[in-house]
Amino acid sequence: MRERILVVDDEREIADLVELYLQNENYDVFKCYTAQEALEHIGKHDLDLAILDIMLPGSSGLVICQKIREEHNYPIIMLTAKDAETDKITGLTLGADDYITKPFRPLELVARVKAQLRRYKRYGGGIPKGDDGIIVHSGLIINVNTREVLLNEKPISLTPTEFSILRILCEHKGNVVSSEKLFHGIWGDEYYTKSNNTITVHVRHLREKLGETPDNPKYIKTVWGVGYKIEK
C-alpha cells in the first residue's frame, strides 16, 4: 500500500511542485490550498505524513498541526519563512517533527519526507534492543514495537520525534548523547548545525510530558555543552 501524504500550501506553484516530486516517488498525495480543505482531509483519510505551510489564508498551519496531534502521531513537516524562528519553535512545541525553510530544493524536501517515513514505519530500527522490544527504566516502560510509553503505569502520548529521543537516551542510559548524535540518529541526514535548536525544543516538550523540569529532572539530564543523558 502506497504511503499517503497531505500537502498544504496556499502558493499553488509550490503545492503543485511538491505534489509532482512526491508522486514521482510513488506517494499518494492529498493537495490542499486552504486550512479548511486540509482539516476535511484529516478527518476523512488515513495519512502517513503531513507537510504544512505555516502561513495560510484564514488560519495557520500551526492550527492544523495542533489538530492533527489531538488524534494522530504521524510525522509533520512545517514549511516556514526564512527568518521565522518563532514559528519554527512554536511548530515543534505543538508537535511538528521537522521544518524546512522556504525557498527550498524539492529534492531536499523529498529526502526529509523519506527520512521521517522511514523512522515512523520502523520506529527505532538500527539500535539494538531487547528481543521483546521492551525498554524498562525507573517507572518508564517503552514498547518499541507498538510505540507505546507508560509512565508509572499510565500511558503518555508522544510524537514520533519525542519517542525516538526517549528511546535513544534510554538505550544509552548512563552515557551522554550529544544533540548532534540525537539529530542524526533521528533524521539520518546532514542538516545539523551548531545553531540548530530542534532537539532542544523537542526535549523541552518531552520533559513536560514526563512531568519534570530542567532544574530538577528525574529522567533527562542536561550535560551543558555536550548533550543529554539518562542515569542508570
pLDDT band per the 50, 70, 90 thresholds, residue 131:
very low
Residue 216: predicted pLDDT: 79
Grid cell of 141 as nine digits: 516502560
For the chain, what are the domain ranges? 4-122, 134-230
**Between 35 and 92, the higher pLDDT residue:** 35
Q: Are 226 and 178 in contact (CB under 8 A)?
A: yes
3-state secondary structure of 108: helix
pLDDT over 90 percentage in the chain: 34
Mean pLDDT of the chain: 84
Residue 217: predicted pLDDT: 82
CA atoms within 13 A on the CB side of 183: 18
What does the pLDDT look like over 148-207, one tens digit per residue? 888 888 889 888 888 989 999 988 888 999 988 888 877 766 555 555 678 888 898 899
**Is residue 128 pLDDT above 50, yes or no?**
no
d(CA 190, CA 103): 18
User: What is 4-122's CATH number?
Assistant: 3.40.50.2300
Residue 85: predicted pLDDT: 72
**Is residue 18 pLDDT above 60, yes or no?**
yes
pTM assigned to the model: 0.63
Find, among 61, 50, 45, the residue nearest to 10 by Cα. 61
Residue 29: predicted pLDDT: 96
Lowest mean pLDDT among 49-58, 69-78, 125-134, 215-224: 125-134
pLDDT (mean) for 138-142: 85
* 36, 49, 50, 192 from 67: Cα distances, Å: 12, 14, 12, 28
- Class at the top of the CATH hierarchy for domain 134-230: mainly alpha
Q: Are 107 and 21 in contact (CB under 8 A)?
A: yes
What does the pLDDT look like over 60-93, one tens digit per residue? 899 999 999 888 888 999 998 766 677 777 888 7
